[in-house]
Structure 1
């Protein structure tokens, strides 16, 4: 099969396929912008002088101070996590119709390898379109935003450009990675002329082993400060690596643990519920509890970062209060200057977390709509037998909220615990920051409200997907 034929088959499809391609391209665009922004921060050249010499051409201290640029770049890279999760969830949009199209190719004589290459090319071309558009937006935005102020300082590093090989690695590497991920995912299925059959599936109930990952992550954060005191500031790179491994382990533990939470919530609903909607949701949760891990992955990762950010904000707030208290004792009064740089930085972190939650909510909407569309014949059969659509909509809400509420609480708690351990005490015997219950409550409530909005939007598709005519859909 020639490349032109593969390309033509990869671009074929209906409006749902076009929506999947558009969402994949959008995800690649956002990931490209985040990656290029991180490379731009790292590309800032250190001015002549000692190790603490700052780049005075920038307004923001995050760009001026060399020691803060690595953390800024790392935060930008972390923003790609919910974006990539959105890409993975978008790939499932219209999956049944795509599976039928791939099966038709097999019926026409295509080999399994050729069918896999068609799917890979579809994802790769969509991602490539997104990365190229992201590169164009980056270069165009660089020109538009290059506006020095009256002091000649820049708000963004628009005066530097990352190395061309690094930019090419981002623009070309993301499509290759997306295509490779598609090939790996397709290993679990066998595309036959009669349809797509999974070779192996998960059996049995989820186990609470992800709690070990959470415990190891918290333990890794707990040993950072003692090691730092023992080494007296040496080997900071290794300490940063330990902290990153701990955060990653905790994130994976919470995400994988969502399956066990969903299974436990389903069993609890099945035992206690008396209404049809809750019983339907209970059966769905116990039949496929791992769906929660796939659905809420990006949201839970963002909330762990949000919990950690709340701990850092509380520590910086206490630092500012202690500084003001010292100023009063020294006779400078309440209006004396105090360094608010770290608190202002946390405002940017909170904005990034809000953006990550919004992206995660968009991915959740895609997954929810795809689930409703893929089960439209089941829902249409229920409506045909007399089940009200309101009951089905309520069951979908139960199915989403029953596992997400405890998962949100756990994610915020784990994130705060890790952040609190990493900040440590300001000095031996110093006051400890209070638990920011109000901020944590706002973050948790905001996430749950976002989920409720997504559920409401997804349920709007019920009327069109539960028509009796859907029973004759192929």
Structure 2
């Protein structure tokens, strides 16, 4: 099969396929922008002088201070996590129709390897188009936003350009990773002329072993100060590596642990179900508890980062309060100092990034819910034909989502705040410790749950059109 034929077959399809390609390209564009922004921050050259010499051409302290640029770039990279999760969830859109199209290609004589390459090429080309769009938006925005103020300072680092090979690695690496990920996801799929079959994957009920990963993350946060003293003067930034490993372990522990939470919630609902809708949800949760880990991964990651940021904000507020008290005692007035004001402003930017991440995660959840309704439309149509009200099916979807997500969000809040409290120290110069910011944590958790509720409400709107009696003839 020639490359041209492969490309034409990869881009063929209906409106659902076009929507999947569009969402994949949009996700790749957003991820490319975040990656290029991180590279731009790292590309800022150190001015002449000592190691702590500031780059005075920038307004924002995050760009001026060399010690803060690494954290800023890391935050931008973290922002790609919900974007990549959205890309993965978008790839599942219209999966039944795509499966039938791949089976038709096998019937026409295509080999299993050719069918896999077609699926890989579809994702790769969509991601490449999105990455090139993101690169174009970055270059155009760089010129449009290069506006020095009256003091000649810049709000963004539009005066530097990342290393060209690094930019090429981001723009070309994302489509390559997307294509390879598609191949990995298809490793358990067998495409035959009669249909697409998935070999059995995980069997049995989930176990609570992801709690060990959470414990590893908390332990890494608790050992930051001893590690810092033990590795003082080392050439390699082992402390940064330990912090990254700890955060990653905690996030993965919460995400993977959601499968166990879903299974447990399904068992509890099955035993104490207050309604038929809860019974339907209980059966769905126990049959596929791992679906919640896939669905809520980006949302829970954003909640963990947001809870950790809340702990840092509480620590900075305590330091600002101590400085004000010391300033009043010395007769200098009520001034918290520019340093703490800078830290609090930085936390405002972190909160904005968390809000953006939650929004992107909610968009991915909406895609997953709509795809689930469309792929199970024949089963739902059978229930409606047998007399089950659509309201009951809609309520079962709500139970299926809320039963695991509420406890998972609570766990994410606790883990994120604990790690943030350990990293920030949580103790002022006079020995005082900040109180637990219950209101901020409650607002973050409620915001995540409300975002899920809004997403479920929008997804259920597709229920009526996909439960018509005509859907009984769907294949």
Q: Which residue of 2 aligns with 1:142?
A: 142
Q: Which residue of 1 aligns with 2:39?
A: 39
User: CA 1:230 to 1:431, structure 2 compared with 1: closer, same or farther past 3 Å?
Assistant: farther
Q: Which residue of 2 aligns with 1:11?
A: 11
Whole-Å Cα distance in 2 between the matches of residues 456 and 58 of structure 1?
Answer: 44
Deviations 1:202-241 (A, max 9, x none): 1100000000110111111110122224556767811111
Q: Which residue of 1 aligns with 2:462?
A: 461
Whole-Å Cα distance in 2 between the matches of residues 448 and 336 of structure 1?
Answer: 35
Q: Which residue of 2 aligns with 1:471?
A: 472
Whole-Å Cα distance in 1 between the matches of residues 253 and 366 of structure 2?
Answer: 23
Name whichever of 223-232 and 294-303 sits farther off: 223-232
Q: Which residue of 2 aligns with 1:387?
A: 388
TM-score by length of 1: 0.98
Deviations 1:306-363 (A, max 9, x none): 1100000001111111111110111112257453000000000000000000000000
Q: Which residue of 1 aligns with 2:115?
A: 115
Contact kept? 1:284, 1:399, Cα under 8 Å: yes
Contact kept? 2:323, 2:336, Cα under 8 Å: no
Contact kept? 1:35, 1:77, Cα under 8 Å: yes
Q: Which residue of 2 aligns with 1:371?
A: 372
Q: Which residue of 2 aligns with 1:311?
A: 311
User: CA 1:343 to 1:233, structure 2 compared with 1: closer, same or farther past 3 Å?
Assistant: farther
Structure 1: gaps spanning 5 or more residues: none
Whole-Å Cα distance in 2 between the matches of residues 236 and 333 of structure 1?
Answer: 43
For 2:154, what is the secondary structure of its paired residue? coil
Whole-Å Cα distance in 1 between the matches of residues 302 and 355 of structure 2?
Answer: 8
Q: Which residue of 2 aligns with 1:408?
A: 409
Whole-Å Cα distance in 1 between the matches of residues 438 and 336 of structure 2?
Answer: 29
Q: Which residue of 2 aligns with 1:423?
A: 424
Contact kept? 2:231, 2:238, Cα under 8 Å: no
Q: Which residue of 1 aligns with 2:185?
A: 185
Structure 2: gaps spanning 5 or more residues: none
TM-score by length of 2: 0.98
Whole-Å Cα distance in 2 between the matches of residues 201 and 253 of structure 1?
Answer: 20
Contact kept? 2:218, 2:250, Cα under 8 Å: yes
Q: Which residue of 1 aligns with 2:155?
A: 155
User: CA 1:232 to 1:166, structure 2 compared with 1: closer, same or farther past 3 Å?
Assistant: closer
Contact kept? 1:383, 1:389, Cα under 8 Å: yes
For 2:190, what is the secondary structure of its paired residue? strand
Q: Which residue of 2 aligns with 1:354?
A: 355
Q: Which residue of 2 aligns with 1:433?
A: 434
- Cα displacement (A) at 1:389: 0.3
Contact kept? 1:323, 1:338, Cα under 8 Å: no
Deviations 1:110-147 (A, max 9, x none): 00000000000000000000000000100010111111
Whole-Å Cα distance in 2 between the matches of residues 199 and 160 of structure 1?
Answer: 50
Whole-Å Cα distance in 1 between the matches of residues 400 and 196 of structure 2?
Answer: 26
Name whichever of 231-240 and 48-57 sits farther off: 231-240
For 2:197, what is the secondary structure of its paired residue? strand
For 1:277, what is the secondary structure of its paired residue? helix
Whole-Å Cα distance in 2 between the matches of residues 179 and 223 of structure 1?
Answer: 39
2:461 matches 1:450 = no
Whole-Å Cα distance in 1 between the matches of residues 235 and 413 of structure 2?
Answer: 30
Contact kept? 2:323, 2:337, Cα under 8 Å: no
Cα-Cα RMSD: 1.2
For 1:86, what is the secondary structure of its paired residue? helix
Deviations 1:61-101 (A, max 9, x none): 10001111011000000100110000000000000100110
Whole-Å Cα distance in 2 between the matches of residues 427 and 228 of structure 1?
Answer: 19
Q: Which residue of 1 aligns with 2:207?
A: 207
Contact kept? 1:25, 1:130, Cα under 8 Å: yes
Whole-Å Cα distance in 2 between the matches of residues 157 and 330 of structure 1?
Answer: 39
Whole-Å Cα distance in 2 between the matches of residues 254 and 15 of structure 1?
Answer: 36
Whole-Å Cα distance in 1 between the matches of residues 423 and 228 of structure 2?
Answer: 11
User: CA 1:143 to 1:386, structure 2 compared with 1: closer, same or farther past 3 Å?
Assistant: same
